Chains A and B, each alone.
Chain A
Amino acid sequence: MWDYTDKVKEYFFDPKNAGVLEEANAVGEVGAISCGDALKLMLAVDPETEVITAAKFQTFGCGSAIASSSALTEIIIGKTLEDALKISNQDIADFLGGLPPEKMHCSVMGYEALQAAVANYRGEEWQDDHEEGELVCKCFGVDAGMIERAVRANKLTTPEQVTFYTKAGGGCLTCFDKLEEVLASTNAAMVTEGLIMAEEAYRLGSVDPRQLKTKAKPGAAKPKTDIDQVMAKRPPTASAMPPASAVAAAPSLASTGRLTTVQKIRLIEEGLEEVRPFLKKDGGDCELIDVDGSNVYVKLSGACTGCQMASVTINGVQERLIAKLGMPLRIVPVS
């Protein structure tokens, strides 16, 4: 039995705007017959203002498909086409208080129907580019298609990066085998296409999942933030985040006396300043408290506190500083 929210139940049992809209001048018809969903979205658009004055739907599908369709109509009525197009499938899911991971595709169908209806209104042809794959990560509702797209777009080559970008594997990690398989096969295809070098490609079994520490926070995968992009540009050698023990054991450049303490602190401050705008974008911040040997004490604030992704952020910042100073460092968060 699915764990549907009360809102989903409400919009399923008593859907708003179900039926045929006779005066519709924009119609979107989408569906995936294999998974048993089809949706016809009908809109009445004011030609002067491009405001959606009425919306109705007909849906062949499960409870959450009907609820998502109804929610979509409620969200878009009164909006201009431009504003309506900004709505994502996550907005539909959020409106319903969330959907089970296996059911997120229902909200995607609503999103696609809207795109199709607007294209229909504008006399354009709407092409479906949505590909669904087998659900890999049940904790965060990430399917094989999403992983493949993230791997290709960002040239990911390690399972940890996949978790970082998509959240897949950030929960119970029982999907590791499947995640690894998707990564390896995508990398193999990328090698054939000349997108990455053969030696960069991930090899099945080359990572021990017991070593993976990355945990993602609940909620569906959201679009990458800029800090993710920054971290994606790390040199390939640093792509696998070294465990703290390895960092501590590495020969310390500081002990060779190449950097004075003042130089070191200045570089650390500079590095942190480069990262802070990205943290702020996500509603967080960090500040340097102290440096002791190779330990850098920072205080995380705002959205960073209590965020389960904080450890990921710290790892990323740590790598950035390591690259900048050319010496092993360990970031220690203090409260």
Chain B
Amino acid sequence: MRTVYLDNNATTAVDPAVLEAMLPYFTEQFGNASSMHAFGSAVGAAIKAARQQVQKLLGAEFDHEIVFTSGGTESDNMAILSALEASPERDEVITSAVEHPAILSTLAHLEKTRGIKVHVIPVDKKGMLDIAAYRAALSERVALVTFMWANNETGTLFPVVELAELAKEVGALFHTDAVQAVGKIAIDLKSTPIDMLSLSGHKLHGPKGIGALYVKRGVRFRSQQKGGQQERGRRAGTENTPGIVGLGKAAELAMLHMDDEATRVAALRDRLEKGILQRVPSCFVTGNPHERLPNTANIAFEYIEGEAILLMLNRAGIAASSGSACTSGSLEPSHVLRAMDIPYTAAHGATRFSFSRFNTDADVDHVIEVVPAIIDKLRAMSPFWAGANEKAKDFKPVYA
């Protein structure tokens, strides 16, 4: 059976060149970079090279601004905790309603345990930030502003450079969770006032278990993981050399493929959206179609539920993702779609197709071919569906 992987915002396939670069660091190059012998020095050089590869991808001014971590979640946690510790006279944080749980859960925890005040800035129906609310929340009590660069579910981009400039005006640190943006869109940190940025290896065809936090030179930083002097004392623990080398290689390849991502991949995504919207009634694209990642399409199919769609797609060899409650095990549909005020009956049916450079035209053809029948079949079973563009008016369930 033909398999089509369109869940690249969840994770990506490791590029074969990345794996090849990593392999020696599991075998002959097993040394500890801190060691005073040949085994250590070779590894130290490889880590330095990887740091420079990541530096280039981010357009950072210095390679020492890159701190390797275990991934996006650790980087996000580290940025928040460090910022609060480094600015003890400030006890407020500003974030958005559509952030990843790595940000929102951490802040909710700190709100509960340390009494910090968290301003959660809402978004509009297209997922764009309410700038007026953001401006109103800014004050000299704010230690950190953290906004994601690109949304993982809809691909919507926040204007982080402008948002960072506003944060500067009150002297707050600015962090961005750029896990979905890095490798997909051009980034040049040295020309921005962004203080910290999180990235994750496995979202850009690198390995899992490796990520980085960019910390601009001069930003006050407080280490969170205590121990040895690795990463200039900012993140203790013997370096994950194979992971770091893999991330470096993935960063190098991402730069090479950046144009392809912006043109060919975006064209695939657009063709998929158009093809589905033309063939399936009562569905719409969520997010801001003009300000978003080139690889992400999030289509809400009304009156049916996302997990059922995914199971049907899976049987047709297509891997996608859903904002439905049932796929996560929680009772609520995606907090991102709810923040965008998308009705429950559509939010539960929102399906995300996320591309990578490994997708082809044939992939898109296959999806366009099988999706209409799947949607038809599920709608025929749905009590909310009474025909194209019409919700069943006589269905009035007793709600629990």
Cβ of A35 < 8 Å from any Cβ of B? Answer: yes
Q: Would A60 and B380 count as touching, CB distance under 8 A?
A: no
Check if A288 is an interface residue, CB within 8 A of chain B: no
Question: B307: which of A18, A59, A63, A126 is its contact (CB, 8 Å)?
Answer: A63
Interface of chain A, main secondary structure: mixed
Measured between beta carbons, the chain A residues less than 8 angstroms from B325 are 34-36
Which of A63, A103, A132 has the most C-beta atoms of chain B within 10 angstroms of its own C-beta?
A63
Beyond A18-B380, A62-B324, whether A36 also contacts B397 by CB under 8 A is: no
Interface size class of B (residues with CB under 8 A): 20 to 34
Whether, in the assembled complex, A31 has its beta carbon less than 8 Å from a beta carbon of chain B, the answer is yes
A61-B326 in contact (CB<8A): yes
Which of B312, B329, B396, B399 contacts A32 (CB under 8 A)?
Answer: B399
> Which of A12, A13, A34, A59 lies in contact with B344, CB distance below 8 A?
A34
Residues of A within 8 A of B381 (CB): 15, 18-19, 57-59, 66
Partner of B398, one of A31, A60, A103, A134: A31
Within B19-57, the residues touching A (CB, 8 Å) are none
Instruction: Compute how far the CA of A61 lies from the CA of B305 in the bound complex, rounded to whole angstroms.
Output: 5
Determine if A60 and B382 form an interchain contact, defined as CB atoms under 8 angstroms apart.
yes
- Contact A60 to B384, CB < 8 A, known contacts A36-B305, A36-B324, A36-B333: yes
Give the shortest distance, in Å, between B310 (CB) and chain A (any CB).
Answer: 9
Given A38-B384, A62-B308, A66-B308, residue A128 in contact with residue B333 (CB < 8 A): no
* A:206-223 near B, CB below 8 Å: none
Least CB distance from A297 to B in Å reads 46
Complex contacts, B345 vs chain A, CB 8 Å: 33, 60
- For residue A29, CB closer than 8 A to chain B, the reply is yes
Residue interface mask B297-324, A partner, CB < 8 A = 1: 0000001111110011001000000001
Q: Does B235 contact A (CB under 8 A)?
A: no
Q: Which residue of B lies closest to A131 (CB)?
A: B400
- Find the A residue at minimum CB distance from B344: A33
Within 8 A of A (CB), among B91-109: none
Q: Nearest chain A CB to B156's CB is how many angstroms away?
A: 23
A residues near B397, Cβ cutoff 8 Å:
29-31, 38-40
- Interface: A77 (CB within 8 A): no
A122 within 8 A of B: no
CA distance A126 to B398 in the complex (A): 9
The answer on a CB contact under 8 Å between A13 and B315 is yes
Of all chain B residues, which has the CB nearest A36?
Answer: B348
Chain B's closest residue to A38 (CB) is B397
Beta-carbon contacts of B322-338 to A below 8 Å, as 1s and 0s? 00111101011100000
Q: Does B383 contact A (CB under 8 A)?
A: yes
Pairwise interchain contact A116-B398, C-beta atoms closer than 8 A = yes
Known contacts A40-B395, A59-B383, A61-B305, A130 near B400 by CB under 8 Å: yes
A53–B348 alpha-carbon span in the complex (Å)? 34
Nearest-Cβ distance from residue B173 to partner chain A, whole angstroms = 32
Q: Return chain A residues, CB-CB under 8 Å to B331.
A: 32, 34-35, 132, 134
Proximity bits, B107-132, A CB within 8 Å = 1, else 0: 00000000000000000000000000
CB <8 Å contact, A61 and B398: no
Q: Which residues of chain B have C-beta atoms less than 8 A from A59's C-beta?
A: 381-383
Give the CA-CA distance A180 to B399 in the complex, in Å. 29
- A114 and B329 alpha carbons, distance in the complex (Å): 25
- The CA of A13 and the CA of B397, in the complex, are separated in Å by 24
Interface centre among A18, A131, A132, by most B CB within 10 Å?
A18
A and B contact pairs by CB, cutoff 8 A, 22 listed: A13-B311, A18-B380, A29-B383, A29-B397, A31-B397, A34-B344, A35-B332, A36-B306, A36-B333, A36-B344, A38-B384, A40-B397, A58-B395, A60-B345, A60-B348, A62-B311, A65-B305, A65-B326, A116-B398, A130-B400, A131-B400, A135-B329
The 6 closest A-B pairs by CB, nearest first: A31-B397, A62-B326, A62-B307, A58-B383, A40-B383, A32-B400
Where the two chains meet, the residues of A that have a C-beta atom closer than 8 Å to any C-beta of B are 9, 12-13, 15, 18-19, 29-40, 57-66, 102-103, 109, 112, 116, 126, 128, 130-132, 134-135
Known pairs A13-B315, A58-B395, A59-B381; list 11 more (Cβ under 8 Å): A12-B311, A15-B381, A31-B397, A33-B399, A36-B326, A36-B344, A40-B383, A60-B304, A60-B305, A61-B305, A65-B308
